[in-house]
Amino acid sequence: MNIGAIIPVRYYSSRFPGKPLVKISGISMIERVYKQVQKSGRFEKILVATDDLRIANEVKRFGGTAVITSKDCTSGTQRVWEVLKDSNFDSVINIQGDEPLISELLISAVYDRLSTGKDSVVTAAFFNESYDEYKSVNIVKSVFDKNGKANYFSRSPIPYCDSSKFKGFYQHVGIYGYTREALSLFVELSPSRVELEEKLEQLRFLDYGIDIHILRTEYRSIGVDIPSDVYKIEKIIGE
């Protein structure tokens, strides 16, 4: 199976314009993400999918490969599909471009599971014991059965648990492995009601009967959403 890696990024983030180019301890964020994917040692080809020449030029500068995509893409998933449909990949791993600390071991685990051919969609989750994060709408929770089949994803606290009995929850990690067929179907389907209400694209797969396999992992990733998050990442790197 020919599995590629695609990192979708755009320049004009509403909360942090130019985010992929921000320097984190002297290295651009997109370079840090790219190098983490390289460290997995799984891919013959790693592509950055972007709508901006400034990002493409930065990728070229550090020796990576970028593909210019349409500015009409409304999501990273659509940006990944625009590259995938014109490639010879059978499947693809979608790595978020704003997670510079994503573990190469997690990337490898998603790749290895997807390469078995057992699943159409693969993602990951880790066990989080923070009650504050359990309550936060910014943290995506996942519920799955004993075999790893996803039941649901939500910004709400799921499964429900009283604070006195709380022991933890599984937090979703935004990395995905898709077969070509699954992603082709995804972009053809209309967004579902719960997808729009939760603002979680992966719910479209579940709403149309496409299973998602969730890998349990100990590797959590920290995303960069606003400028102050850069300092958090630099502190971790410095430790």
- Residue 112 falls within a domain, yes or no? no
Structural domains counted in the chain: 2
Is 134 inside any structural domain? yes
With a cut of 80, say whether residue 14 has pLDDT above it.
no
83 and 129, same domain (yes or no) = no
Is 228 domain-assigned?
no
Looking at the fold, whether 96 and 128 belong to one and the same domain comes out as no
Q: For residue 1, what pLDDT band results from cuts at 50, 70 and 90?
A: confident
Q: Residues of the chain with pLDDT > 70: what percent?
A: 100
In a shared domain, residues 4 and 93:
yes
Q: How far apart are CA 29 and CA 20, in angstroms?
A: 5
Answer yes or no: is pLDDT of 238 > 70.
Answer: yes
Q: Which two tokens stand for residue 211?
A: 């299973």
Is residue 22, in this structure, part of any structural domain at all?
A: yes
Question: What is the model's pTM?
Answer: 0.93
Same domain, 81 and 122: no
Spatial contact of 170 and 125, defined as CB atoms under 8 Å apart: yes
Main-chain phi, psi angles of 169, to 5 degrees: -150, 170
The overall average pLDDT reported for the chain is 94
d(CA 176, CA 199): 17
Residue 227 belongs to some domain of the structure:
no
Parent domain of 10: 1-102
Query: pLDDT digits over 116-169, tens only?
Result: 999 999 999 999 999 999 999 989 999 999 999 999 999 999 999 989 999 999
Q: Determine which of 82-91, 151-160, 215-224 has the lowest per-residue pLDDT on average.
A: 215-224
Return the exposure string of 146-179: e unless at least 16 CB atoms fall within 10 Å of the residue's CB, then b: eebebebbbeebbeeeeeeeeeebbbbbbbbbbb
Both 60 and 130 in one domain: the answer is: no
Is the residue at 33 inside a domain?
yes
- Read off the pLDDT of residues 26-69 as tens digits, 9 standing for 90 and up: 999 999 999 999 999 999 999 999 999 999 999 999 999 999 99
CATH number at residue 30: 3.90.550.10
Both 125 and 204 in one domain: the answer is yes
Residue 160 in any domain: the answer is yes
Structural domain contains residue 236: no
Using CA atoms, how far apart are residues 87 and 4, in angstroms rounded to an integer?
Answer: 9
